[in-house]
Amino acid sequence: MVNLTVNLGNNLVLNNPVMTASGTFGYGLEYDDFTDVDRLGGIIVKGTTLNLREGNAYPRLAETRQGMINAVGLQNKGVDYFCKNIYPQLLKYTKTKVIVNVSGSCIEDYVACAERVAALDHIPAIELNISCPNVKQGGMSFGTNPDMAGKVVEAVRKVYPKHLIVKLTPNVTSVVDIAKAAESAGADSVSLVNTFLSMAIDIKSRRPVLSTVTGGMSGAAIKPIALRMVWQVANAVKIPVVGLGGISSAEDAIEFIIAGASAIEIGTANFINPNIGNEVVDGIAAYLEANNMKDISELRGSLIL
């Protein structure tokens, strides 16, 4: 038996390094029929904002080669609805860690939302989304400037004592600078990457496929770029790094861990195979055994240069 347990610090211990990415796994409940949700290391639930958001107009989806572009725009019913109506349903998950992805359009909103989630005993961490490309105000604009990133993380840190993951956008010249700013401002860990700003055009109508013209690209096609960024950040910060971006197999996940990720998130691949998370857990365990490793920590950052 290998030990897959991952301690990300500040009381966030995962039974294994595999989590599901926000916006691709609903609240976990949507997947109960298809996979043992509680067996995953963690589930990061849909992006939650202080107030209800209707999101963007349809169409919100463009399929690309080995990828997809979405323009959902953080549709959710707001944090109070989450606390009252959804949180109680999540108490049945006793082994996996339920993490809330928190987003906002101004610092005050992030803070107010994080404060409400802090009061929920069963939520050991939040993932602060300073990287959504699909909202007009806030979102990615906090994540593209180190000063802004530092300010929002610092403000949330003051009201949120539990584990604080900061989710980074790849749509910057130097993701390392943003990661360092988040670290300095008190983040317990960083996760990257969110989606790549992109677009698709319908050549029959010569119109954009998405209602918002541009959207965020995810899926297997982005994996090599995400991997490079995770490797760069893992070498630049002392806090744990959670890697994501196009992970679609155990092999992909193992690459991220070798590059320095302590944990990984699976996103778009959940849409194709709702059981992929648990298959990746098993695949990582099998790889460790085959390579005579007893603990996942032996693999982490083991890249040979």
Partner 1 sequence: MHKRHSTDFSVVDIHSLSASCYQIVLKHPDTLPLVAPGQFVQVQLPDSANSFLRRPISIHDADFEANTLTLLIRKAGKGTELLSHVKVGDSVNLLYPLGNGFDLSLDKIGNNPLLIGGGVGIAPLYMAAKALKAAGANPKVLLGARNEADLLKKDDFAAITETECTTEDASFGTKGFVTDHVYMKGCVHQFTSIIVCGPMPMMRAIARVAEAENIPCQVSLENKMACGIGACLCCVTETTDGHNTCVCTQGPVFDSNDVKW
Residue 58 Cβ, how far from partner 1 at the closest point, in Å? 5
Q: Which is nearer to partner 1, 23 or 283 (CB)?
A: 23
Spatial separation of the C-alpha atoms in residues 242 and 112, rounded to whole Å: 25
The DSSP line for 17-55 is SEEE-TTSSTTSGGGTTTS-GGGSSEEEEEEE-SS-B--
Residue 41 Cβ, how far from partner 1 at the closest point, in Å? 18
Q: Which is nearer to partner 1, 16 or 76 (CB)?
A: 76
Give residues in contact with partner 1 (CB under 8 A): 23-26, 30-31, 33-34, 46, 54-55, 57-61, 63, 65-68, 70, 72, 75, 219-220, 268, 270-275
Q: Which is nearer to partner 1, 53 or 157 (CB)?
A: 53
132 annotated active-site: yes
Residue 98 Cβ, how far from partner 1 at the closest point, in Å? 15
- 3 and 17 in contact (C-beta within 8 Å)? no
Spatial separation of the C-alpha atoms in residues 258 and 250, rounded to whole Å: 12
Residue 269 Cβ, how far from partner 1 at the closest point, in Å? 9
**What are 189's two structure tokens?**
């860990």
Residue 209 Cβ, how far from partner 1 at the closest point, in Å? 9
Q: Which is nearer to partner 1, 73 or 138 (CB)?
A: 73
Q: Which is nearer to partner 1, 57 or 91 (CB)?
A: 57
Axis crossing angle, helix 250-259 with helix 276-290, rounded to the nearest 10: 60
- 120 and 83 in contact (C-beta within 8 Å)? yes
83, 106, 113, 132: which one is catalytic?
132
Phi, then psi, of 86 in degrees rounded to 5: -100, -45
Beta strands 18-20; 189-192: pairing state: unpaired
Q: Which residues pair with 201 in a beta bridge?
A: 208
- 10 and 301 in contact (C-beta within 8 Å)? no
- Annotated catalytic residues are 132
